Structure 1
C-alpha cells in the first residue's frame, strides 16, 4: 500500500473519532446542565381516575356551538385534555351565551366537560353565571344542552346584585327564547337606605328579550312588620341590562302591617303598577280587584285617628321614598275618624290628597261631591280640605248649588265652609229651613235666609248675617243679624230689625202689625218678645213709636199683652191725631191702649190738644178717655172728629179700679 493511501486512512479515522467525541461531549453537557426535575401539579385525567386516557393536551382551547350560522354558546379554557372518545375536559373555563348573535350571559367555572358529539357540556366547581349589570348566580355546577339550547344548575343556587341577594332551589335557562327561571322557592333580600326588604316567591322568570322579570306564581314582600303580596308580579327594565322602568302586580294585591311611626296600614287592590318618572320619582296606579270592589287604603295612627280611602282607581307619586300625592278616581270615598269627634267623609268623582314629609296635609275633590260631617251632609261640585286644621270649603255651580241637610235642618247656598268641632259657615244666597220640636211633641218649621249663615256646632244656635230673614207662616223677622236657638226657642236680632207681629184679638181673630227696631229678642220658653231701639209699630189704624216694646206671647207667638216704654208716640191713621207719653200698655183682646206720662199730650190735626197723666184709647171706637188719678180724680171724654161738638166733656170721677199705673 502506498504511503498516500495510508495517510488518507489515518486522517479519516481521526475525523471519525473526533466526531464521536463531540457527540458524546455534547450529550454529557446537556445532561449536566439540565436542572433537577421538580414535580408539577398535573391535571387529573380520566386515566388517573380509571377512565379513558387523554390523547392530547390543548393550551388556550376554544369551542363554539352554533345554530345555523349563529353562535349558540362558546367555551374557552386555559388548558384542555382531549380524550380518545372525542370528549374534552377543560380547566379555568369561561362560557359565553349568545342571543341572536349577541352576547347575552357569561359563565365562569373551574372545570368543564364537553361532549361535542352530543353537544352537551357540564360546568363544575364554583360555577358562576353572570346576567349583566353586576347580577351573578352561583352554583356547584351547570349542565348545558346545545341541541335544546337549554342549561340548568346542579342543585341550589345563590344570586346577588347591587343592593340585593338571595337563593333558589335551582335555575334553568333557555337560549332559544333567552329566558332564565329561578325555581323551587325564591328568597331574596333587597337592601336600601332603610330596613331590608325580603322577597319570597315560588318562581321567578326573566325574559331577556322583553327585559322583564316575572313572578308568575305570586310574590310576598316583608319589611319589618309590613307584609305585601300579589298573585302575580313583573318587573320591566329599560333594557336587558338597564334600570327598572315599571313594576306590575296583579291581584289581589294586598299590604298590611305597621309603619315606622307605629301606624297600622291596610291596602287592597286588583292591580298595581309602579313606574319611574325620573330623578328618583315613582308613579303609582292601582286598579280595583273587581267590578264592584274598590281599591281600599286604611291607615290608623297611634293617636287613634283613622283615615280610609276607597276608589275605583288610585294614582299617586313618590319622591325619595316619600308619598307626595294620592288621587282617587271614580266613586271616591274618603273617611276620617277622630276620638270623641263625629266622623267626616267625602264622596266625589275625583279626590286628590297632597302630602308633606310623608303625611297627608290637604285634599281637593271634584264632581258630585257629598260631604258627611257628623249627623249632617252637604253636596256640591268642588271641595278643598285642610287635614291638619280640620277645615274645608265646599263650592257649587250655578246649576248645582250647595245643598246642606242635617237633623231637622236643610239649606242651599253658593259655598259652605267647615271648622273643627262641627262648625260651619254657609255663604252666598243662603236659604233653608229648621225644625223645632215643641214640648207637646208637635214640630214647627221655621224658614230662614241670609247672605251668610253659620253655627259653631250642630247643637249651637244658627247665626244669620247680611239681610237675614226668619219666618214662620206669615210671621217674618228681618235684620242685619239674627241668631236662632232651635232647642231653646230663642231668637236674637240686631240692625234694621223688621218684624211682622201678630196680636190675639180673641173672637175677632189675629191682627198683624209691622214692627221696626234696632234689636229683637224672642223667648218662646218664657213667652216673651222684646224690641229695643227706635221701635216703630205700624198697623192699618195707627203708628206707635217707642224705645222698647215688651210683649207677652202665647205658644203660637201671638201677642197677648204689650208694654211700651221710652218716649211713646202714637199717631192715629184715620184722624191724624197724635199722642205722646212715657209708657203705654196694649191689650189686643180688648183693643185698648193705655198711655201714661207727665203729662200725656194729645194733639189734633187742627191744633187742638189735651194734656193728662193717663190717657186711654179705645181703638175700635176711636174714643180717647182721660183717666184721673187719686190726687186728680178727673177724666175727660173726647170723641173722634164728628163724634161730638165743642170742647170735650170732663167729669170728676174716681179712677177706675185696677187701672192705677
Structure 2
C-alpha cells in the first residue's frame, strides 16, 4: 500500500490464480497460474499483471503454456515466456491442429495477432507443402512467427523453413493461409521436391513463389533456376503443375528460357518452354528457338521438341520461318 490512505499500489496473489481480460475492441483472454502480482496505476486503474508457475493462457483460437506471463494493459499486449533458468523450458502454443514452440510469445490485441520469437519451431496438420503428404503434418522453423487470432493465417520470417516428407521450402519469408489453401514465399526461395518418377529430386530457386493447393499450381518469379539430375532450366517465370502425390507433373517457363541437357551437352534456347512429365517431352518455342550441340553446331526453328526418353530433338519451322542448321565439321574429318 502507499502512504496515501486507501490507495493500493500492488497485490500478490497466491494459490490458483485466474484472470479474465476483455480489451476494448480486442480478443478476450483467460489466464491461470500458481501465483501472480497485480500493479495499479496512480489513478487506481489496473496496470500490469504478472503470472508465474504453470501459466496457461487462452486467446482467440490459441492456447498457450509457459513459466511466466505479463499483461501490459496500456499496450493491450501479453508476453509469455519459458523459464530461462531451466534448459528446454519454452513457451508452447496449440491451436486447431497447429503447435508452436518459442522462447517467448506476444499476444497483440490491437493488431489481432500473436508473435512468437526465438528459435521458433512448429507444425500444422491443416497445411500442405505441395500436394500429397496426407496424414503427415507440415513442420516449420524460423526466427519470428506471426499468426492471426483464429490461426488461419501465419507468417514465418528470417531463415524460414517449411517441410513435409521429402518436400522442403526455404526463404526469408513464408506466408500461408489454411482456409484459402495457399502458401507464398519471398527472398532466396529454394524448393526441393521429388521428381515425376520418384527417383530424383527437383530443386527450384527463385526470388518469389506462390502455391495454390486447389489447382496444384506453383508460380516462381525472378531469376528462376530449375535443376534435376539430367537437366537445368533458367527463365524469368516458371509455372509448375504439381501431381496428386506432390511430384512435378509439368511446367511452363517464360522469358529468356535456357535449357541445358547435361547428358548430351546440348543447350536449347527460346522464349517459352513447356514440359509434360507423362509424355517425357519438352517443347521450346521462340523466334527462333535454337539448339547448340557440344561441337558448336546450331539448329534453329520455330520450335524444338526434346523427347527426353529417347534423347532426340525434333526441329519444326513455322510458316515463313524455315529451319536453319549451322554445322561445324570436325577438324581433320
TM-score range, shorter chain: 0.7 to 0.9
Distance in 2 (alpha carbons) for counterparts of 1:628 and 1:601: 11
Distance in 1 (alpha carbons) for counterparts of 2:301 and 2:322: 11
DSSP-derived class of the 2:191 partner? strand
Q: Which residue of 2 aligns with 1:37?
A: none
Decide whether aligned partners of structure 1 residues 589 and 581 sit closer, same or farther in structure 2, where only a CA change above 3 A counts: same
- Does residue 374 (structure 1) correspond to residue 63 (structure 2)? The answer is no
Which residue among 338, 346, 352 is the counterpart of 2:37?
Answer: 352
Distance in 1 (alpha carbons) for counterparts of 2:309 and 2:93: 48
Distance in 1 (alpha carbons) for counterparts of 2:30 and 2:145: 22
- Does residue 528 (structure 1) correspond to residue 217 (structure 2)? The answer is yes
Which residue among 411, 426, 436 is the counterpart of 2:126?
Answer: 436
Which residue among 133, 142, 163 is the counterpart of 1:450?
Answer: 142
Match runs of 1:189-588 below 5 Å: 280=3, 319-337=4-22, 342-356=27-41, 357-396=43-82, 397=84, 398-420=87-109, 422-436=112-126, 445-504=137-196, 508=197, 512-588=201-277
Distance in 1 (alpha carbons) for counterparts of 2:98 and 2:135: 12
The question of whether the paired residues in 1 share the 8 Å contact of 2:181 and 2:214 is answered with yes
Match runs of 1:45-124 below 5 Å: none
Q: Which residue of 1 aligns with 2:320?
A: 631
TM-score, length-scaled by structure 2: 0.86
Distance in 2 (alpha carbons) for counterparts of 1:429 and 1:352: 29
Instruction: Give deviations 1:515-546, integer Å, cap 9, x for gaps.
Output: 00000000112331100001110100011111
DSSP-derived class of the 1:358 partner? coil
Give the deviation of 1:415 after TM superposition: 1.2
Distance in 1 (alpha carbons) for counterparts of 2:178 and 2:298: 48
Distance in 2 (alpha carbons) for counterparts of 1:364 and 1:580: 65
The question of whether the paired residues in 2 share the 8 Å contact of 1:625 and 1:635 is answered with no
The question of whether the paired residues in 2 share the 8 Å contact of 1:422 and 1:458 is answered with no
Distance in 2 (alpha carbons) for counterparts of 1:633 and 1:601: 12
The question of whether the paired residues in 1 share the 8 Å contact of 2:206 and 2:220 is answered with yes
Q: Which residue of 1 aligns with 2:131?
A: none
Q: Decide which structure has the larger Cα Rg and report it.
A: 1
Give the deviation of 1:333 after TM superposition: 2.1
Q: Which runs of 5+ in 2 are unaligned?
A: 129-133
Give the deviation of 1:369 after TM superposition: 2.1
Give the deviation of 1:502 after TM superposition: 4.0
Distance in 2 (alpha carbons) for counterparts of 1:338 and 1:428: 27
Greater relative contact order (Cα < 8 A, sep 6+): 2
Give the deviation of 1:555 after TM superposition: 4.5
The question of whether the paired residues in 1 share the 8 Å contact of 2:299 and 2:323 is answered with no
Distance in 2 (alpha carbons) for counterparts of 1:481 and 1:399: 26
Q: Which runs of 5+ in 1 are unaligned?
A: 1-276, 281-318, 639-645, 648-661
Distance in 2 (alpha carbons) for counterparts of 1:501 and 1:597: 29
Alpha-carbon RMSD across the aligned residues, in angstroms, is: 2.7
**Number of residue-to-residue matches in the alignment:** 319
TM-score, length-scaled by structure 1: 0.45
The question of whether the paired residues in 1 share the 8 Å contact of 2:261 and 2:267 is answered with yes
